[in-house]
Amino acid sequence: MQTITRLDMLRAARAALKGRVALVPTMGALHAGHVALIDEARRHADHVVASIFVNPLQFGANEDLSRYPRREAEDAAMLADAGVAMLWRPDAATMYPDGFATHISVGAIGERFEGAARPGHFDGVATVVAKLFGQVRPDLAVFGEKDWQQLAVIRRMIIDLDLGIEIAGVPTVRDADGLALSSRNAYLTPGERATALALPAALHALRGRTAEADYEEARARLEAAGLAVDYIERVDHNFQVDRSNGSRLIAAVRVGTTRLIDNMPAA
């Protein structure tokens, strides 16, 4: 696996790749969820390019940018083992040089739920993903269903900007006890991690449920377990609440200082 940190070298290495190229964007601190994305990418493409960039644009002022876990050597070993051809690891000055001014604004989908809790987050995600697409020029990009709203925002952007890049979504990889794998799980104490299990349990219990009371009960149970609930809802593909016909259950909670999100099919 080649590790590349300069844009001119990326362009040269990319030009030498023949056949279909898949991109797997990540922020590092990799786990089995990321490996599942790479496995999916390999099924659809001749070469897999993974990127690691902790994108300042998608972190709010009070969020965890500076303490976000960074594990360069372990990440590179995992990617090489998973069959990645090229690791694109730019620094912030390469991504956002002096004078950088253009941002993508993602509109309504990006203003609800995660977007409401994290103003500017999805604009930051869309902007960096658009840049990564321009840099790597993939035929296909792979994202996790774990970030359900992010996946919707990226699909919307690709349609709206006629980017012509295929998207594959990969089901959420979980630990055996049901907790969705996340780089942020590294922040949890053992006690917090045990508490966090109430999140997938609550979503699971809501599958097939439509009554107002079921949602109130889910929220109350999460709070009683020690989680601060931001939202737990059933939504349609536009992220409008629809308890009868929405296709997805989505939730965000805080455990101590750590914010966790999860989602499941509603039916």
For residue 26, state whether it binds ligand AMP (rule: CB under 6 A).
Answer: yes
Pick the binder of ligand AMP from 40, 75, 147, 262 (CB under 6 A). Answer: 147
Run of H or E including 259 = strand 258-265
For residue 33, state whether it binds ligand AMP (rule: CB under 6 A).
Answer: yes
Find residue 142's DSSP bridge partners.
168
Q: Which stretch binds ligand AMP (CB under 6 A): 13-21, 61-69, 88-96, 173-181?
A: 173-181
Token code pair at residue 77:
């070993």
Pick the binder of ligand AMP from 49, 180, 202, 227 (CB under 6 A). Answer: 180
Which C-beta is closer to ligand AMP: that of 1 or that of 242? Answer: 1
- ∠ CA 102-105-107, nearest 5°, is 170
Side-chain-side CA neighbours of 58 within 13 Å: the count stands at: 20
Which C-beta is closer to ligand AMP: that of 215 or that of 235? Answer: 235
Which C-beta is closer to ligand AMP: that of 27 or that of 49? Answer: 27
Q: Shortest Cβ distance from residue 8 to ligand AMP (Å)? A: 26
Report the distance separating Cα 251 and Cα 256, nearest Å: 16
Contacts of 188 (CB under 8 A, 6+ apart): 196, 255, 256, 258
Residue whose tokens read 């360069």: 72
Q: Which stretch binds ligand AMP (CB under 6 A): 31-39, 186-194, 201-209, 249-257?
A: 31-39
For residue 118, state whether it binds ligand AMP (rule: CB under 6 A).
Answer: no
Token code pair at residue 128:
């960096």
For residue 154, state whether it binds ligand AMP (rule: CB under 6 A).
Answer: no
The residue count for binding ligand AMP (CB under 6 A) is: 17
Find residue 71's DSSP bridge partners.
none
Torsions phi, psi for 147 (to 5 deg)? -100, 75
Pick the binder of ligand AMP from 135, 149, 172, 263 (CB under 6 A). Answer: 172
Pick the binder of ligand AMP from 21, 23, 35, 36 (CB under 6 A). Answer: 36
Residue 237 annotated to the active site: no
Token code pair at residue 224:
């009683």
Q: Which residues belong to the active site?
A: 34
